[in-house]
Amino acid sequence: MTQGQPTYQQVGAELNIPWVFIGITHGMECGFNFKGHLHNGDPLTARTVQVPKARPATGNPPFTWSQSARDALIAKGYQQVTDWSVPHMLHHFERYNGMGYRRRGVPTPYLWSFPICSRKPSSSPTATRPGSRQQAMRRGTDAESRAGLKSKRFSHPNNGDHIMSKKARMYRYQRLSRHPE
């Protein structure tokens, strides 16, 4: 991720998004390959084929990674986000991939994938690498301080060991009251 840091910082500075968020999203969507769309990893030589289809909507292929990344982040509205604390960043990672798992009351592998967090083996490509939550926490306080993030410790939602902000506790309480574990 640090090899792409200058590119993530450039795109992030233009849109006021922490480079760490862009870098982790790039890892989750493209495996840090700068030849794939940030939207979904499809090749930059054409518009996206997978969901979201036909992105970027403007311009002509082949696209640069930065063009595609800006389009993906703006399409999700991330340039308007003002709170990039760790709990909110985790919510935005989940939102980036879609909220389908949440609606079923299942922890999303996009956040929680890692052998120690899996209940059963998965053939999902995200299950073979750390989820965005693990990557965000692994970045440590050095990256958090440079990105302006507040450091907190979080556990898997099925584990009772938490230290959370008041907002994160309220969010978890609301989620659990809709989908009891």
For residue 36, list its beta bridge partners. 43
Domain shared by 68 and 128, yes or no: no
Task: Tokens for 81, please give them.
Answer: 């986000």
pLDDT at 50: 92
Compute the half-sphere exposure of residue 44: CA atoms within 13 Å on the CB side of its CA.
17
Whether the Cβ atoms of residue 22 and residue 68 lie closer than 8 Å to each other: no
Domain shared by 152 and 90, yes or no: yes
Q: Which of 21, 49, 80 is the last residue of a domain?
A: 80
pLDDT at 181: 44
- Domain ranges, residue 135: 86-178
Q: Which residue shows structure tokens 């989940």?
A: 94
Domain shared by 50 and 129, yes or no: no
Domain shared by 19 and 60, yes or no: yes
Domain shared by 62 and 95, yes or no: no
Whether the Cβ atoms of residue 111 and residue 77 lie closer than 8 Å to each other: no
pLDDT at 169: 54
Q: Specify the length of the chain in residues.
A: 181
From the first residue on, what is the mean pLDDT of each consecutive set of 10 residues in the chain (181 residues)? 92 96 91 93 94 93 96 96 91 88 83 52 49 56 46 43 50 54 44
How many CB atoms are located within 10 Å of the residue 38 CB?
26
pLDDT at 80: 96
Residue 26: helix, strand or coil by DSSP? Answer: helix
pLDDT at 180: 47
- Split into its structural domains, the chain has a count of 2
Give the span between the Cα atoms of 21 and 159, in whole angstroms.
Answer: 25
Domain shared by 70 and 150, yes or no: no
